[in-house]
Amino acid sequence: MRARKYLGFSSSKETISDNCVVIFSKTTCGYCKMAKKLFQDMNVNYTAIELDMYENGSQFQDILHQMTGGRTVPRVFINGAFIGGATDTQKLHQEGKLLPLGTVGVMQTQ
């Protein structure tokens, strides 16, 4: 996979505010896969922004560091608020606190 695009800061802020669950991720990251699988297993829609698919993904991680206090991925946002990484997300789920945060994004099943 080759990075081709540039990730804009303002468009990313819009993505965070316009989507219930946003995961800043990398395609090869095991923790990122764990976080995405957690939401999939709960039938919650999420938007994944794969930083390694963008030419400026590394620089964008610097922006995420300024926004969240950490540079590692995944960086998970629910309803516009940063909730943490994969282990933080998993912990909230185990405590029964994650699904109430993301109920707006629950998929409708028929």
Is there a domain that residue 4 lies in? no
Domain-embedded: residue 93: yes
Q: Tell whether 110 is covered by a domain.
A: no
Containing structural domain, residue 37: 9-99
- CATH code of residue 33: 3.40.30.10
Give the DSSP letter string of the chain.
----B---HHHHHHHHHHSSEEEEE-TT-HHHHHHHHHHHHTTB--EEEEGGGBTTHHHHHHHHHHHHS--SS-EEEETTEEEESHHHHHHHHHTT-HHHHTGGGBPP--
Q: Does residue 3 form part of some domain?
A: no
Q: pTM of this prediction?
A: 0.86
Q: How many structural domains comprise the chain?
A: 1
Is residue 55 domain-resident?
A: yes
Residue 104 lies in a domain: no
Identify whether 43 is part of a domain.
Answer: yes
Q: pLDDT tens digits for the chain (110 residues)?
A: 555 687 777 778 888 999 999 999 999 999 999 999 999 999 999 999 999 999 999 999 999 999 999 999 999 999 999 999 999 999 999 998 887 765 544 443 33
